[in-house]
Amino acid sequence: MRLILVALLAGLCAVSAVSVHSTNYAQKQKDVWRLFKYINQPSYYKDHVEIAHNYHLSKNVAAYSKPEVVEQFYKYWQYGKLLPRGEIFSVFHGEHLKQAVALFKLFYYANDYETFYTTAVWARNHINEGMFMYSLSVALIHRPDTYYFSLPPIYEIYPHYFYSTEVIKKAQYYKQMYSGQQGSEYNDKIIYANYSGHYLNLHPEQSLSYYMEDVGLNSFYYYYNLYYPFWMSGEEFNLKYDNRGEAFYYMYQQILARYYLERLSHGFGEIENFDWEVPFETGYYPSLCYPNGLHFPTRPNYAHLYEYFYNYGQKYGFNKYANSYSYVKDFERRIHDVIDSGYAHTESGQTVELFSHHGMNILGNLIEGNPDSPYYHYYGAFQVFARHLLGYSQQPLTYFKLHPSALEHFETSLRDPAFYQLYKKLLSYFIRYQANHKHYYNEHDLMYQGVEVKNVEFDSLVTYFDYFYADLSNAVYVTPQEFVQDSFKVQVAQQRLNHKPFTYKIYVNSDRETDAVVKVFLGPKYDEYGRFINLTDNWMNFVQFDHFVYKLKAGDNIISRDSHEIYNYMHDRTSYYELYQKAFGVHDQSHSFQFHHDQFWYGYPQRYMLPMGSRGGMTYQFYVMVSKQLPYKTHTTVPMIGSGMQYVDSYPMGYPFDRPVYWEQVFYDIPNSYFHEVKIYHEHHDHGYEQHLEHEATHYMV
Ligand SMILES: *[C@@H]1O[C@H](CO)[C@@H](O)[C@H](O)[C@H]1NC(C)=O
Ligand SMILES: *[C@@H]1O[C@H](CO)[C@@H](O)[C@H](O)[C@H]1NC(C)=O
């Protein structure tokens, strides 16, 4: 599921190994983390306060490679248009976004690391915290001199967006009770967090809340969107070689496929379809509150989305979001026209061919509504308005007082069931395109002469829940002294899905030595009623499980893979507190602190590699395909975002499930591929929450 693969990781490891020897790296990394602490308060570090007080952008214009970037930002500052600190920031509001991009450019175009850092420290105390954190994170990932720094886990920086209200309140309760007291009671409190399904019963699907509210899953989605921001120009910021439009399609296809697997293990079927005109069935109560005390907006069951209801009593004027329904309908119409006609046009009226080799990439850019779209203003930003509409947030009086819904933050989007329904609709556009214009794969396309997959074996696959610990200190407010001394700590523990380590083997016979690429997919076999799902209806439900290059020797090969080395997935990020301790614990700065590569990139959490099993075993199937290796053509040797170096091969993303399957028998017949049925079991511990889940699961089980 992760788009980055072996090549890049090898590259990153090399880079980090080099950097670790530079004395500066540890210091810089530490400096960067300090900026993320207690983000809802100003920084009280002396050095920060000094810089914030003394640094003047207008006197340092020459320190930025594009002076107009400083001018632009300075205008917002000078005319009092900047979102004040303490207000809620949303990247999906045009005005907030404009300012965030201006700030990002300031960071990005700083001439050297020192200027970048000074600008960041200045902004830390002057700029809205949400905007600061967002722009800084994107800049860290995209600047060539900082991309290998690790970002602290977002659920620890912004716990309000990841843990429900009662958890946050409890942390604050401890802080008020014990603050100022010395001794063991003060520190190291552990709060046991639950998911909203623990006490809410809005909808049967609430039983999936452990999945939709998982902190790792939600931060994966957040990080992906830092790497490929929807507003970022590929030309200006060097994303060109990543096929971001195609990657956009693939990312959502994978998220939906994976969610469907989890649904099946609870007896739920396909993700619902919806019409904009019919009241939206699935309500949502987020159980989250903003640091300023406002609760996240809720959506009732059967919400009316069309304009008369949605917009009732709203101001007429600048607020285009109040007209989201009209925008969504217009953009949808235009997207359909492009797909069926096969061409888009640019602002100057030139046509862009969509039935071409890069068609999928162009369509992805167009639908995402990023600046690489053929004509951004015409094809528009469908998802921005759709999120606003479905999120059901109230219209604000001014953009200073926004009250965004869960769908209007990347940190919380995956929590709302409407997210999956919306992106299912969006994926249906791509499928319509693929069905219109793609040639169906036949045996000549898929066959790899002389290579045969003879067998596939998996160890037993067992899921279970275990406790995951994270630092929750940022959920409270601290005194300047506590801030500097780091003297208040509270932890949160929450049950998350996991699985026992396993290995699997692929037995391949080859008639010669050859460079092959191996792909492994995990998909459903039966629907929620136990009916076999034909591949013609199932191809879009396969999750890419593993993907690697392998040198086959002539004769029999046994490829053995360990669940830990499956590179499509990421391990949990190291806790902020731990990272921080490590950095400060290192007296000799040249002494290494090694990061696992997982600290640098984003990926689907390793814990969720397997969908939850059941006591009697849930049936799924793996599909293995061995193909000729076609290396991806990269254009640079720097292993960073935009270089294309993360791609294992140059097949279309998701190949051979990158398009509808028509000749399904071919997939069963060609010798270089193999279907393997497995059962996934779930092991129970004596825990109330799990028993509740088990009850749901067995209830629906066929
Ligand atoms: C979560 O549920 C458990 C068991 O009912 C309870 O002990 C715990 O206090 C709950 N956590 C919170 C933060 O409410
Ligand atoms: C799958 O569906 C197609 C189209 O409906 C049908 O022709 C084919 O026989 C089905 N295959 C199986 C194995 O059921």
Give the pLDDT score at 201. 74
Q: Which of 437, 468, 489 is the last residue of a domain?
A: 437
How many A from CA of 494 to the centre of ligand 1? 10
Find the ligand nearest to 664 CA: 2
Amino acid residing at 351 = T
CATH code: domain of residue 262: 1.10.1280.10
Over residues 509-522, the pLDDT tens digits come to 999 999 999 999 99
Residues 112 and 246 in one domain: no
Encoded tokens for 300: 């009732």
Residues 400 and 284 in one domain: yes
Residues 201 and 343 in one domain: yes
Among 603, 227, 265, 275, smallest CA distance to 424 is for 275
Residues 139 and 261 in one domain: no
Residues 325 and 212 in one domain: yes
Residues 146 and 211 in one domain: no
Residues 145 and 207 in one domain: no
Q: What is the DSSP letter of 526?
A: B
The answer for residues whose C-beta is within 8 angstroms of residue 282's C-beta and 6 or more apart is 203, 205, 272, 299, 301, 417, 418, 421
Residue whose CB lies within 8 A of the most ligand 1 atoms, among 170, 173, 194, for a mutation test = 194
Q: Is 292 in the pocket of ligand 2 (CB under 6 A)?
A: no
Confidence grade of residue 15 (pLDDT, cut at 50, 70, 90): very low
Residue 319 pLDDT exceeds 80:
no
pTM of the model: 0.91
Q: Is 166 in the pocket of ligand 1 (CB under 6 A)?
A: yes
How many A from CA of 192 to the centre of ligand 1? 6
For residues 478 and 489, give the distance between their C-alpha atoms in angstroms, rounded to a whole number.
Answer: 11
For residues 543 and 260, give the distance between their C-alpha atoms in angstroms, rounded to a whole number.
Answer: 10
Confidence grade of residue 485 (pLDDT, cut at 50, 70, 90): confident
Domains in the chain, number:
2
Q: Which of 417, 437, 457 is the last residue of a domain?
A: 437
Residue 15 lies in a domain: no
Q: What is the DSSP letter of 553?
A: P
Among 657, 617, 572, smallest CA distance to 253 is for 657
Confidence grade of residue 316 (pLDDT, cut at 50, 70, 90): low
Q: Is 193 in the pocket of ligand 1 (CB under 6 A)?
A: yes
Residue 621 lies in a domain: no
Residues 252 and 349 in one domain: yes
How many A from CA of 534 to the centre of ligand 2? 6
The answer for residues whose C-beta is within 8 angstroms of residue 194's C-beta and 6 or more apart is 164, 494, 689
Phi, psi of 428 (to 5 degrees): -65, -25
DSSP, residue by residue, 198-231: GT--SSGGGGGHHHHT-HHHHHHHHHHHHHS-TT
Range of weakest confidence among 21-35, 437-451, 454-468: 21-35
CATH code: domain of residue 56: 1.20.1370.10
Residue 87 lies in a domain: yes
For residues 116 and 136, give the distance between their C-alpha atoms in angstroms, rounded to a whole number.
Answer: 10
Residue having the nearest C-alpha atom to atom 4 of ligand 2: 536
Residue 205 lies in a domain: yes
Residue having the nearest C-alpha atom to atom 12 of ligand 2: 534
Residue 493 three-state SS: strand
Task: Give the atom of ligand 2 at the shortest distance from the alpha carbon of 532.
Answer: 14
Confidence grade of residue 235 (pLDDT, cut at 50, 70, 90): confident
Residue 265 lies in a domain: yes
Q: Which of 437, 466, 489 is the last residue of a domain?
A: 437
Give the pLDDT score at 179. 67
Residues 226 and 145 in one domain: no
275 in Cβ contact with 304 (< 8 Å): no
Which ranges of 369-453 would DSSP assign to H, the alpha helix?
A: 376-379, 382-391, 417-437, 443-446
In which domain, by residue range, is 110 found? Answer: 40-150
Q: With left for phi above 0 and alpha for psi between -120 and 50, is residue 183 left, alpha or beta?
A: left
Q: Which residue has the tokens 């399609």?
A: 249
State the chain's mean pLDDT as an integer: 87
171 in Cβ contact with 476 (< 8 Å): yes
Which stretch of DSSP H or E encloses residue 136? Answer: helix 129-142
Residues 415 and 349 in one domain: yes
Residue 388 lies in a domain: yes
Residue 13 lies in a domain: no
Residues 144 and 204 in one domain: no
